[in-house]
Amino acid sequence: MKKIQNLSLRIWQKSCLSKALEVYQNGQKNFMCVAAPGAGKTRFSASLAKSLLDANYIDFVLCFAPSVNVQGSIQETFSNILNDRFDGRIGTKGLVITYQGIQYAYQELAHVIKNYRALIISDEIHHCASGVSSTSNQWGQLLVSLISEGNPLTLTLSGTPWRSDSTKIALQSYSGEPQKLDTDFVYGLGHAVRDKVCRRPSLILLDNSSIDVQEGSETHKFSSIRQAIEAEKLKYSELLTHQDSLSQLMTYAHEELIRIREKHPRAAGLVVASSIDQARRISQFIITNFNESSIVVSYDQIDAHENIRDFQSSEIDWIVSIGMVSEGTDIPRLQVCAYLSNVRTELYFRQVLGRILRIDQKTDEPCSMIAFAEPKLIEYSERINQDLPEDSMRIKVIEQQTLIKTADSNTSTTQSPEKNGFMTLKTTSSNHTHSFDRLHDIASEASYSVKMAFGKDSYRTTILSL
């Protein structure tokens, strides 16, 4: 095989490329690369494809993507690096389609795999489960079946290589007890930040030290969101619709974006909302209260993908998303994210964080993700400093979650500054003492037997910076 050409690769990409070529030459058919979101997995995979094509080791490249947005980004990158179209037409060197599209083009793809030396690249492979027969795992079943039609080389990529349902990932091998994912190359977030490949993120968790929950004639007082949730008097979903707490979080996100724009004027904000209705109202809140522009993109919009592409090069200040801007979407000017999703899995939390990690023009670009100090989100934020947590890629036979209530549960969750690996944990007092307008009736006007009140002068933030 020919030597690696100078493709203007980052150090980690060159190392990974050399390792992949070595693995394939030694007869191994699959190469598993785990790299932080925004680190450049697509450019690495295109460069690997080019090296294999130039060495006459393969004839054709098939790429599979989890969404239409990612599909477009892959096609553009591969076309640039291969200096050719990448649309599957006669004479081209490859094709990229979504996992969902496999079912519609199965026979044509199978013909290519049977008759040509193919490299199959599966992006964000964690979307495809192994060994589970269900409608939700149709992608994994089709992918495994398709590859079995021939004897192709395969490259599997992921920035978050585990599944929330604790099932195995398709095409991957596991070993040990409990079984753990075998990887060929890992480039975690910590390395990417230290190498200035990704932005250094700050995770800002909004809390409140004066929460009153009224049940009938009884009033319960709490000094933190965690305390109220663990006492089962407050639900996370209620935080996402409570007008005062939501207004506070959006105001904090807005002020964070203003601060970042002092040095990075094109910086934009992302809101990951929990419902279409909430997204529209938050967008209107941004327009009315901040006098900034905002666009909503959701899975029910026919032109959502076009709107996302337009936003990338526009001057619109905010994009409010429902299930659209989570992983693989490349919008480098996003530098602030308000996490208001009702999804509380570490997989999704990290995927959303990845949307603001990609460097745009300078290596010192800051980025911030703002969320409520909900117990699980606190845990995920603290685990970010572990890159890929040791137990995240293990298959757990029994998943047990227990709420642990300590004897001193009435104490505040405010923590003193401490060092933890390469993460600094510190607590600061919030300067926000604003009075807020209604968030356009985002909270229902219906009468509830349980009512919540958040002290407007009692908000505080815990900031975790990588």
Q: Do 92 and 212 share a domain, yes or no?
A: no
Average pLDDT score over the chain: 82
* Within-domain flag for 414: yes
Report yes or no on 179 lying in a domain.
yes
Nearest-CA neighbor of 52 among 148, 121, 119?
A: 119
Query: Could you report the per-residue pLDDT of 44-90, keeping only the tens digit for each?
Result: 999 999 999 999 999 999 999 988 878 988 999 999 999 999 998 88
What is the per-residue pLDDT across 239-268, written as a single tens digit (0 to 9) for each?
898 888 899 999 999 999 999 999 999 999
Q: What is the mean pLDDT of residues 417-433?
A: 30
Q: The domain spanning residue 168 has which CATH number? A: 3.40.50.10810
Sign of CA dihedral 167, 173, 176, 180: negative
Predicted local distance difference test score (pLDDT) of residue 65: 93
Q: How many CA atoms lie within 13 A of 313 on its CB side?
A: 3
Identify whether 410 is part of a domain. Answer: yes
Q: Which domain holds residue 173?
A: 11-187
Q: Where a domain ends, among 155, 187, 219?
A: 187
Q: What is the CATH number of the domain that holds 456?
A: 3.40.50.300
Is residue 293 pLDDT above 50, yes or no? yes
Q: What is the predicted pLDDT for the residue at 430? A: 36
How many CA atoms does the CB half-sphere of 282 hold within 13 Å? 36
The count of domains in the chain is 2
pLDDT at 425: 26
Bridge partners (DSSP) of residue 358 are: 198
Residue 211 and residue 171 in one domain: no
Q: What percentage of the chain reaches a pLDDT higher than 90?
A: 53
pLDDT: which is higher, 464 or 312 = 312
* In a shared domain, residues 30 and 94: yes
Q: Are residues 213 and 81 in the same domain?
A: no
Cα separation, 257 vs 272, in Å, equals 15
Same domain, 223 and 312: yes
* 150 plus 24 within the same structural domain: yes
- Distance (Å, rounded) from C-alpha 204 to C-alpha 208? 13
- Residue 5 per-residue DSSP state: P
Same domain, 221 and 177: no
Cβ burial 170-194 (10 Å sphere, 16+ → b, else e): bbbeeeeeeeebebbbbbbbbbbbe
Residue of 105 and 179 predicted with greater confidence:
105
Q: Specify if 6 maps to a domain.
A: no
Short-list 76, 75, 59, 82, CA closest to 7: 82
| Residue at 5 is within a domain | no
The verdict on 92 and 172 lying in the same domain is yes
Position 238 pLDDT exceeds 70: yes
Q: Say if residue 213 is in the same domain as residue 167.
A: no
Q: Tally helices (H) and strands (E) across the chain.
A: 13, 20
Same domain, 286 and 157: no
